[in-house]
Amino acid sequence: MAQKQLGVLVHGAGWVSGEHIKAFQNNPHARVVAISSRKMESVRRRAEEAGLQRIGMYTDFERALRHEGVDIVSVCTPQHLHAENTIKAAEADKHIVIEKPIANSLEEMRAMRDAVRKAGVKTVVSFVLRWNPLFQTLKSLIADDAFGKIYYVETDYQSNIASWWSGYEDARKKATGISAMLVGGCHALDAARWFAGRKRESAARVAEVFAYRGGWRKGAEREYNYLTGTWSDGKPPLEYEGLEVLILKFDNGVIGKVSVNLDCIMPYTFPIEIFGDEGSVKNNRIWSHKFPGQKEWIEVPAILPDSSDVTHHPFQAQMDHFINCILNDRESHCNLEDAIHTHEVVFAAQKCYETRQPVTLPLM
Ligand SMILES: NC(=O)c1ccc[n+]([C@@H]2O[C@H](COP(=O)([O-])OP(=O)(O)OC[C@H]3O[C@@H](n4cnc5c(N)ncnc54)[C@H](OP(=O)(O)O)[C@@H]3O)[C@@H](O)[C@H]2O)c1
């Protein structure tokens, strides 16, 4: 007998939701049965684009949750709504895809964790770079001892997010975006945890954090658009520092340096450096004791994490992984509990700016 397809409700019909919809539609074990958002016109547009007919369309999330056949909810709303949406979805016994950042405070994360634990539902957080082909190659090489024992990792999220992004108006504000590290830098933090973890499916945990913040963009009404290479004045400013630099001590002894730089005048880049006692990585160039005759860097011809465009992100692999976890009753390595730890580091940095002291984790 054919296995039942898992029904998906996509909530928040903006930029990223189109990729979630495509990924679920391309998985033979899933189908999108409903879309909900603030505006019906956004719901209709997304449905039309995806060629979806006879699906539920809602502007009321609670009604959407009651739509027949919903097994999974994909939370694609702005970050300040993620906690509330996740809790409601868990209370309705749905498995949940949660877009990053998962929450805006430790309190929100506690409430989400409680609701998900109580419901016993599966979760995956969209730290989608874990499925980027270069990430997968590097993680597999680390687990296969290609670089020996890892002792230092460095990852940077360098993206001049600005008015070109549909989510910018909420993300740029202190009240709804909180900080640059939360809005975008959490990808780099997750990457550092992932590469500092020596096993194939595990991310290392951070024991201590020290952080600085700065840059030039906070409050500036002059904005650069790297897509067109033009400047414009009178734009709504970032309400927090665009640059944060964190020094991390992992509980397995690895040291990390992670930065977010929203102030950079250049296209998006995501540099990666990994150092072990028998080899090194600089982006897609590797040096390894596994190649004893090596004279030049070996370049891995993989897709790099070098675009902020959601169509470039490996959502297909993420959703395939999640469907697999649900069907096989397995927890994702990138579930809510794991992502809470990444976000705790973001909030530890915030604490550090107040106390000017290193902050010890866990915070919750
Ligand atoms: N994992 C990744 O790499 C990645 C990439 C991009 C974005 N993201 C994350 O995904 C989230 C969404 O980003 P986005 O780029 O898709 O932003 P977006 O284009 O602004 O989409 C968000 C959508 O949420 C809807 N919304 C806003 N308030 C709502 C409410 N009160 N109730 C229901 N729907 C509401 C809006 O719908 P209406 O049109 O109906 O008003 C909007 O279209 C953010 O957290 C962002 O950081 C992650």
Give the model confidence (pLDDT) of 168-215 as tens digits. Answer: 999 999 999 999 999 999 999 999 999 999 999 999 999 999 999 999
Percent of the chain exceeding pLDDT 70 equals 99
Beta bridge partners of 11: 36, 75
Q: Which amino acid makes up residue 276?
A: G
Q: In sequence order, what DSSP letters do the residues of 120-134 get, joined into one string? A: T--EEE--GGGGSHH
Name the least confident of 35-39, 64-68, 301-305. Answer: 301-305
- Closest atom of ligand 1 to 315 CA is 1
Amino acid 227: pLDDT:
87
Residue 363's Cα: distance from chain center in Å? Answer: 20
Pocket test residue of 99, 130, 334 for ligand 1, highest count of atoms within 8 A of CB: 99
What integer pLDDT is reported at residue 150 of this predicted model? 98
Distance from Cα 169 to the centre of ligand 1, integer Å: 11
Nearest to 124 by CA among 283, 6, 14, 250: 6
Distance 312 CA to ligand 1 centre (A): 17
CA–CA distance, 206 with 210 (Å, rounded to integer): 11
Q: Is the pLDDT of residue 329 over 80?
A: yes
What are the CA-CA distances from residue 128 to residues 284, 317, 340 (Å)?
Answer: 18, 8, 15
Asked whether residue 3 carries a pLDDT value surpassing 80, the answer given is no
> Cα(282) to centroid of ligand 1, in Å?
33
pLDDT in tens, 120-130: 999 999 999 99
Region 13-31: mean pLDDT is: 98
Over residues 296-322, mean pLDDT: 94
Q: Which ligand 1 atom lies nearest to the CA of residue 40? A: 40
Ligand 1 atom at shortest distance from the alpha carbon of 82: 45
133 upstream amide cis, omega within 30 of 0: no
Among residues 133, 153, 268, which one has the least CA distance to residue 206? Answer: 153
| Percentage above 90 pLDDT, the chain | 97
Of 340, 364, 320, whose CA–CA distance to 98 is shortest? Answer: 340
Of ligand 1's listed atoms, the one at least distance from the Cα of 310 is 5
- List the structure tokens of 158: 């360098």
Question: Residue 46 has what pLDDT?
Answer: 98
The chain-wide mean pLDDT, for the chain, equals 97
Residue 59 pLDDT > 90: yes
Distance CA 346, CA 206 (A): 11
Nearest CA to ligand 1 atom 31: 38
Q: What is the mean pLDDT of residues 280-298?
A: 97
List the residue whose alpha carbon is closest to atom 44 of ligand 1.
Answer: 78
**69 CA to centre of ligand 1 in angstroms:** 24
pLDDT of residue 1: 47
Q: What is the pLDDT of residue 174?
A: 98
Give the pLDDT confidence of 208-244 residue by residue, as tens digits: 999 999 999 999 999 999 889 999 999 999 999 999 9
Q: Whose CA is nearest to atom 43 of ligand 1?
A: 14
219/241 Cα distance (integer angstroms): 9
- The pLDDT of 127-150, averaged and rounded, is 98
Size of the chain, expressed as the number of residues it contains: 364
Give phi and psi for 234, each to the nearest 5.
70, 30
Residue 171 alpha carbon to ligand 1 centre in Å: 10
pTM of the model: 0.97
Question: How many A from CA of 189 to the centre of ligand 1?
Answer: 21
Per-residue pLDDT averaged across 338-363, rounded? Answer: 98
Enumerate residues lining ligand 1, CB below 6 A: 12-17, 37-39, 42, 76-79, 81, 99-100, 126, 128, 166-167, 310, 313
Q: Which amino acid is at 44?
A: R
pLDDT score recorded for residue 2: 56
Atom of ligand 1 nearest to the CA of 167: 20
Distance 170 CA to ligand 1 centre (A): 9
Q: Name which residue leads in pLDDT, 291 or 4.
A: 291
- Ligand 1 closest atom vs CA 77: 24
* Ligand 1 atom, smallest distance to 39 CA: 40
As a whole number of angstroms, the distance between CA 7 and CA 34 comes to 8
* Whole-angstrom distance, CA of residue 159 vs CA of residue 187: 11
Q: Which string of DSSP letters, residue by residue, matches 65-96?
A: HTSTT--EEEE-S-GGGHHHHHHHHHHTT-EE
CB contact set of 277 (below 8 Å; sequence gap of 6+): 147, 148, 149, 151
Minimal-distance CA residue to ligand 1 atom 4: 16
pLDDT in the model for residue 112 = 98
Q: Per residue in 237-263, pLDDT tens? A: 999 999 999 999 999 999 999 999 999
Residue 219 is encoded by which pair of tokens?
């409050």
Give the phi and the psi of residue 159 in degrees, each rounded to 5.
-150, 120
